[in-house]
Structure 1
Amino acid sequence: MINSKQPPNHFSQPRLTSTCSTIPAATPPTVSPSITPSLHPPTSSTSGTGLLSMMAARAMGLSDSNGISTSKGMVTACESYLPMVKLMRKVLRANAMEGKIRLINKRSDELEVGLDIPSRADILVSEILDSELLGEGLIPTLQHAHDKLLVENPQTVPYRATTYGQLVECTYLREMHDLVHGEAEASDGIHLLPSVMPNLLAVKKQQFAMHCNAIKDEIKLLSEPFKVFDFDFWRRPDSFREADLHIKAKGDGTVHAIISWWLLQLDSEGTTFYSTGPNWIPYTSDVKELKTSFVSSGDWCDHWKQCVWFIPSSGLPVSKDKEVWLHAAHTETSISYDFKTSCNEKEDADLDLHTPDGQLFLSPERIALYGNSCWRDLMLNAIKNAIHQKVDPLCLVADDSIFLAVAVAHLSKTSQVMPLFPGLGNKGMQYLQKASIANSYSMDRIEFLRRKELLSSLQGSPHRKIDLFIAEPFYYGNDNVLPWQNLRFWKERTLLDPILSKDALIMPCRGLLKACAMYLPDLWKSRCCLKEIEGFDNSVANTTLGACGGLLVTEDTPFLPYFIWQCGETKILSKMATVLEFDFSRPMNPCSGKTKVQFRESGMCHGFVLWIDYVMDTENNTILSTGPDKRHWKQGVKLLNEPVEVGHGDLSSTEIEASFDPLNGELILRHAFLRNQR
């Protein structure tokens, strides 16, 4: 954590585990028969690499500079995951701390006084926080600790956490949940949301973690920051609380979302704070006296972000200086909001509280994509071109695309549509049933079969073959995968080759693996190797935790899936080049390619960003790009071991070589910076 007077240098290190460091009390505790430094939720109790434990032991003065014990206190750490227990022991051994910390391979709610620890602990040092604050089980973990493991009125680090919110207007945030508005603007005849069931597709009513600084220039602030809840670590928290807030609008507009964050008070005196607030929040109204010392998160970090709560439908209109009523509530693991039309009534906007049968919850990015008129036009044109080439086509939708299934059934009145729906399954069919009337198709033209059933059904029929094989590609629930991990439809195309007609159209027909060199200082910094943190050697944890930057030259860095637009400061340094091509018209096969990429900007290169541009049809060469300038898809990032200065001097280009292995779905990338020929 950051000390408000002198931020420690360890905060620049990556968060590669579920535990981040905190600053213990400035002086050793006067009464300290035992410390429980890390009590985590019953589902994932973890003390991480042991950093908190070592800091607690040092703060207690368990040993002098010669390693000799100077205190009768005890540090107890709990960790339920055995591989992490083994890693922590290595870290403790590397720092000569094995004899000063007792590590127990249990969850925190399994610890027993008299068995695991000799008496109740006086001090709790913990980090059980996610971007929403409560999602890692802070409340049930603290409840159990106070009931079973801690003395009355214990000392705790952190001391208190406070959640804050702010009303905002933002077109992009509206697009991430308001598909009704998107479809109205598209006016293409496809109705993913029937007018009688406007919530058939929706995002879940929850807070979504997001780097809101990335859309700072698109946000209009409609209120000042307001406090929502306080959570005191030093006393037993309640499982459920409610709060009615009166918030004055600072301007006219439409509230599309609530952006929220939290503020940690590390010590009871109130001198050490840390905030996950966006960078437009220099300090909060409650700590104005700390103008010179209180800081928001400032630096980009990927383990804690802001959170976004979407306002139902098209938002809530507000007028300057008028108050709106907001009802906030928290459970043991989440915080929710509802606007109220009066002091006592919650707003039930557009029947938002009603859940229709067949309702599907999609990610905000997927909702934004399905409402994007440019994407819809591109996909519909490609489908129309394919349908016009076939008479009474049998169309297989090879992924979880409800858009493609609805579009084909709507556009071709004689087509038979067979969605595989590998992730959606029967939920997808229930959805198609609900959307059928609005899109003028009959469900007797829709047939849902698993791959094995499909093969056995069509292999024995010489006159019934698949004419159209299509995908976006999109796989339900696979939101955190690398671009080439969405090539599952190519594998399906390969396995189903015996039942494809000889002139079957495959859409997309090709894929172009693209790459560019990029300046990514924030992302590289967040993933670089752990070294010395607060005086402790954590380097033994790098391999296990997946560090990238600063590895030995002989070690290869992994690919990472990221929304590049949310990766802090970025800049494209080179041209965007095609490295290799995937030919989906043929069965899956190994692919390889090589290209030379010229740098167009000078700067520090931290790695390469890769994505796939999909060629939807050969006739019109319609290309769907998923590159770093697009917000709806994650790209693959390959960070360098060490940043390289490029674009001026004698480094003017790089050679990139890639190979794809269809057996394991892995991509291998090699590069070589090229010097100018003189």
Structure 2
Amino acid sequence: MPNASARPKHSRRTRRRRREDPARNELVSSSLESAQQCLFNQDYGTAFVHYLLVLNLAPVFKDFARESFRFTLFKWAEELDSVGRIQDLFSCYEQALELFPADEVILNSMGEHLFRMGFRDEAAGHFHKALKLRPDYPEARENFYRVANWLVERWHFLMLNDRGRNQKYQQAIQKAVQSGCNTVLDIGTGTGILGMCAKKAGAAEVYACELSKTMYELACEVVTANGMEGSIKILHMKSLEMEVPKDIPHRVSLVVTETVDAGLFGEGIIESLVHAWHHLLLPPQRGENEFSEQSATGRVIPAGATVFGMAVECVEIRRHHRLCVSEVGGLSMAATGELRSPVSCSSEPDDSMEPYTTERLSRLPGGYKPLTEAFKALNIDFNNLQELEGLSSREVQQICLPIIQEGELDALAVWFQLHLDEESSLSTGPQEDTCWEQAIYPFSLVALGFVLQPGDKLIIEISCRDAYLRLCSVAVLREGHEIRLDRHPDAQSSGNASKNPNPEAELCNALACLQTGQNQTKDFCMLECSEMALLNNLDYHQSFCSALGKLVSRLKVKCQKQEQRPDLTDPASSTNCTDPLYVLDVSEGFSLLSLIAASQGNVKAYSSVEKDKQQEVLKRIARSNNISEQHLEFWLNHMEDEQGMLKRPSQEKLWSAIILDCVETCGLIRQKLMEKASLARCLLEEGGHIFPERIVVHGMLVESDILLLESAVQGQEPTLGFNIAPFINQFTVPVHVFLDFSTLECRHLSEPVELFVLDLMDANTNYTNREVKVQATSAGRITAVPFWYHIYLDQEISVSTLSQNSHWKQAAAVLQQPLEVRVGDWVHLAVRLHKSTISISAHVDSSPVQMMQ
């Protein structure tokens, strides 16, 4: 029998109690008291240091001090932000998260700072962590949805839902691997799908790289879930930074990539492939053709591309890139000078301008008119290093295109055919059902009214001087005369005078139509595309002009009555009607509303326009419209505090009107709108007004498959046999923004209905929840509720974000699961407002479905 008295070898010993340290306890106690005193004195920086000391020395106080610590952190961070101490700000947050790594409020707040400073990738990570810790945290959810729209763009879902595209890529990769390319690098892996295709096809080694931290982490999750964690090495870095053998052990025989944008080269595919051929890929087989299947060679999928283009007339493109009106809100626009959008189709590289923007031509409101046949602009072979390296130094190519129908030249539209190998290709053409949009090269130097006619020939220049594809319309040939479009008329008319001393009247008229402007230098003012579209919106500005005029007239009449009959018992009630009315415009970006207010007479208007060149434009317009400089003031240049926008103009005077910017261009209510409205109401004089006074949200039940395809990976079947949907669908955003409802592919299942009302003038009439009943007028599946706004400036005057000329887009709340309805069914919508976020749940009888804005 064993010796019962013997001590077991692994017996648990009694843990000794930690000795109390009186000096430590005294330090903790005094520091905690100091922290609270500093907090009371609003000395947030010192309070933060004391709290750090206390919580590091005595973690037992974490629960007790959490709320005070958070408050101190946020206040101190605001101070650091206001003085530009960004590194210190993030250092404080890092120290806070060391103490409270699972605090969703601190994570969300740090994410907000990151997002404001442009670090969207990092911000998304913090919002995502906050939501995992607390799924019902509305602030983190709203922030995550906003940033997810930037990080995981809707084309990711369209691409994964595009079976034809996926199968073509899979077949090309399988064919290459089976022909001997058994070491593979996937550049810009995204979800990891192309790398997994290579591994499934039998590749011995697969590597992948991804620059986006969000997509890198997503790819790692996807690869692990598909049992390939040890088979595919994913690197969080640019391919340009990769080296052999530091990052991968040796050169690979196949590079697969889809780092192409609508303009083909915009994501840097040329630079990455040149680097890959020099440092990461086996050399190509000499003497073989571009699609060589020799196992000892390196090759690229896609193998190459062909770029196509055509000239188009399109009013929607025009109004976003050119000033199309001569008068706005009663103001002459003759003195604006040269206004440009940030997109300039020019053969000369310009760091301040983008060479192209993107649009889906098939969805543009009002459509487009082809002015030329489609032409071939460029061929590129991705398996030819010499051709890739020589792309930027290619001579400028000039082609001459016959005009096929009459119209104004607004842009060149560009698309391409991507050759995966010798058998398979993908097209991004305007008639194709594809996840790509088309590249748009808008043209702004041709004046309005200059019409191209059949018989004319358009001269186009094509270049790739900085590895961007650049197309530019430089001239029109008409009856033997050349009308230059790439230079100012003064220069060209002097040059042409000797050649054509007596040009035909038609040519003279064409030249006269071209943009002149008093200043022929390169000095110009840049407006965002949405700002240009707003400037071209006559109805919007006329509505404001009318509403402001009514308010000014009413206040002047009121002032005159008070001046005639002052309250003798109250000397302060006497008024002086010679004093100006004060109007504040807090619109985002470039706005004419302050100038329209100043034009009403005896009004001093304050503009929130901050950019120097934009202020100069407003001053020029003011002078040309006989508005005194004393009636217009720019006062936000030196404001450090966002709330400072709504401070009084003086101690004695309150605002007669405050103009708030309520709706973002993308179609969402602006964040913190109701808080700003609450503050604005306190700063109005008696009888003063907030513009707009009320916003009514309207919506409609629709069935739209395209919204489903753009919102999440659909169906139960794995994508090419891989389990991807659960991971990418974490980034599903239940609201689609920048939507053109007029061209959305959908079936209307109801009439429009009022969903919600926001009253900016009377807080007592607002609510946070509303039940709305909508009757189905057609049978089908409700997949979404598109919504838009009627913005009431006063009781009678309103503007709609659904207007054809609106600079606003619409948005749509998308159902996670479609809801079947029959004609006559009543659909119950429960609408709830939390800050600026509207959430909607829908049900027919007892079938609830969740949606959210």
**Conserved? CA contact 1:466–1:500, under 8 Å:** yes
Match of 1:338 in 2: 473
Give secondary structure in 2 for the equivalent of 1:606.
Answer: strand
3-state SS of paired residue (1:194): coil
1:62-73 equivalence runs, <5 A? 62=203, 73=204
CA shift for structure 1 position 443? 2.5
Residue type of the alignment partner of 1:418: Y
Distance 1:203 1:366 in 2: 11
Q: Equivalences for 1:133-532 in 2 at 5 Å?
A: 133-153=264-284, 154-179=298-323, 181-183=324-326, 189-191=330-332, 193-195=333-335, 197-200=336-339, 202=341, 204-205=343-344, 206-215=355-364, 218-236=367-385, 237=388, 238-239=391-392, 241=394, 242-267=396-421, 269=422, 271-279=423-431, 297=432, 299=433, 301=434, 303-312=435-444, 313-314=447-448, 317-330=451-464, 331-340=466-475, 347-349=486-488, 350=515, 359-363=525-529, 365-391=530-556, 392-400=580-588, 402-410=591-599, 412-421=600-609, 424-450=610-636, 452=641, 461-471=650-660, 473=662, 479-480=665-666, 482-485=667-670, 488=672, 490-529=674-713, 531-532=717-718
Report the CA distance between 1:147 and its aligned residue. Answer: 2.4
Q: Report the CA distance shift for 1:167/1:347 in structure 2 as closer, same or farther (over 3 A).
A: same
CA shift in 2, pair 1:96/1:309, >3 Å: same
- Post-superposition Cα deviations, 1:262-292, rounded to whole Å, max 9, x if no partner, equal 111110x2x211111111xxxxxxxxxxxxx
CA change 1:93–1:34 in 2 (3 A) is same
- Alpha-carbon distance in structure 1 between the residues aligned to 2:229 and 2:449: 56
Q: 2-side partners of 1:610 and 1:216: how far apart?
A: 17
| Residue 199 (structure 2) aligns with | 57
Alignment-derived partner of residue 552 in structure 1 = none
Inter-CA distance 134–83: structure 2 relative to 1 (3 Å threshold): same
Distance between the aligned counterparts of 2:244 and 2:382, measured in 1?
20
1:218-255 Cα shifts (integer Å, max 9, x gaps):
43322110011223221332235432111112233332
- SS of the aligned residue for 1:526 comes to helix
Structure 1: state its 5+ residue gaps: 1-9, 39-45, 63-72, 280-296, 547-556
Q: How many Å apart are 1:215 and its aligned residue?
A: 4.3
Contact kept in structure 2, 1:573 and 1:605, CA below 8 Å: yes
Q: Does the aligned pair in 2 maintain the 1:561–1:634 contact within 8 Å?
A: yes
| Structure 2: gaps of 5 or more residues | 1-156, 285-297, 345-354, 489-514, 557-579, 848-853
Partner of 2:802: 627
Which structure's relative contact order is higher, taking Cα pairs within 8 Å and 6+ residues apart? 1
Summarize the Cα distance change of 1:47–1:622 in structure 2 as closer, same or farther, 3 Å threshold.
same
Residues 433-490 of structure 1: per-residue CA shift (max 9 Å, x gap): 232222321222222234659959965955311011113546xxx644x4212x6554
Secondary structure in structure 1 of the residue aligned to 2:741 = helix
Instruction: Give the whole-Å Cα distance in 2 for the aligned partners of 1:14 and 1:354.
Output: 50
- Structure 1 pair 488–658 and aligned structure 2 pair: CA distance change class (3 A): same
2:210 aligned to which of 75, 79, 101:
79
Structure 2 vs 1, CA of residues 138 and 526 (structure 1 numbering), >3 Å: closer, same or farther? same
Distance, in Å, in 2 between the alignment partners of 1:390 and 1:442 is 21
Question: CA shift at 1:100, angstroms?
Answer: 2.1
Structure 2: distance between partners of 1:84 and 1:654: 38
Q: 1:532 aligns to what SS in structure 2?
A: coil
- Residue 258 of structure 2 is aligned with which of 112, 115, 127? 127
1:98-119 deviations in whole A, cap 9, x for unaligned? 2321212222111101111222
Q: Distance in 2 between matches of 1:213 and 1:453?
A: 41
For 1:636-655, list aligned pairs within 5 A: 636-648=811-823, 652-655=825-828
Identity %: 21
Flag the 1:134–1:316 CA change in 2: closer, same or farther, 3 A. farther
| Corresponding residue of 1:7 | none
Return the alpha-carbon distance in structure 2 between the equivalents of residues 595 and 630 of structure 1: 29
Q: Which has the higher strand share?
A: 1
Over the aligned positions, Cα root-mean-square deviation in angstroms equals 3.3
Relative to 1, partners in 2 of residues 1:218 and 1:420: Cα closer, same or farther, differing over 3 Å?
Answer: closer
CA distance in 2 between counterparts of 1:30 and 1:653 reads 60
Distance 1:576 1:370 in 2: 28
Distance 1:657 1:226 in 2: 52
Task: State TM-score, norm by structure 1.
Answer: 0.80
Counterpart contact for 2:330–2:542, Cα < 8 Å: no
2:741 corresponds to 1:607? no
More helix by share: 2
CA distance in 2, matches of 1:258, 1:456: 41
The code of the aligned residue for 1:328 comes to I
Distance verdict in 2 for CA 1:591–1:333, change over 3 Å = farther
SS in 2 for 1:436: helix
Structure 1 letter corresponding to 2:279: K
- Structure 1: distance between partners of 2:843 and 2:259: 42
Paired residues of 1:139 and 1:333 also in contact (CA < 8 A): no
Within the alignment, does 1:97 sit opposite 2:212 as a pair?
Answer: no
Return closer, same or farther for 1:14/1:593 CA change in 2, 3 Å cut-off. same
CA drift of 1:590 comes to 5.7
User: Residue type of the partner of 1:467?
Assistant: S
Counterpart of 1:562 in 2: which secondary structure? strand
1:334-383 Cα deviation digits (max 9, x unpaired): 533132357896631526996765713221x5433432333333222222
1:284 paired residue number: none
**Residues 338, 524 of structure 2: 8 Å contact kept:** no
Preserved CA contact (<8 Å) 1:199 1:355 = no
Is the Cα contact below 8 Å between 2:681 and 2:761 reproduced in 1? no
The offset of 1:510, in angstroms, is 0.5
Deviation at 1:304, TM superposition (A): 1.3
Name the CA distance, whole Å, in 2 between partners of 1:405 and 1:156.
56
Q: Describe the shift of the 1:453–1:515 C-alpha distance in structure 2 as closer, same or farther (beyond 3 A).
A: closer
> Which stretch shifts more, 519-528 or 494-503?
494-503
Matched to 1:52, the amino acid is L
CA separation in 1, counterparts of 2:275 and 2:647?
A: 58
Q: 348-357 or 384-393: which moved more?
A: 348-357
Question: Is 1:594 aligned to residue 771 of structure 2?
Answer: yes
Equivalent of residue 740 in structure 2, options 545, 564, 579: 564
- Using a 3 Å threshold, how does the CA distance of structure 1 residues 251 and 667 change in structure 2: closer, same or farther? closer
**SS of match in other structure, 1:224:** coil
Using the alignment, how far apart are the partners of 1:641 and 1:453 within structure 2? 37
> What TM-score, normalized by structure 2, do the two folds share?
0.64
Question: Are the equivalent residues in 1 in contact too, given 2:700–2:751 (CA < 8 A)?
Answer: yes
Letter in 1 for 2:169: T
SS in 2 for 1:176: helix
Q: 1: CA distance between counterparts of 2:817 and 2:160?
A: 15
Write the letter of the residue equivalent to 1:652: D
1:393 aligned partner, one-letter code: L
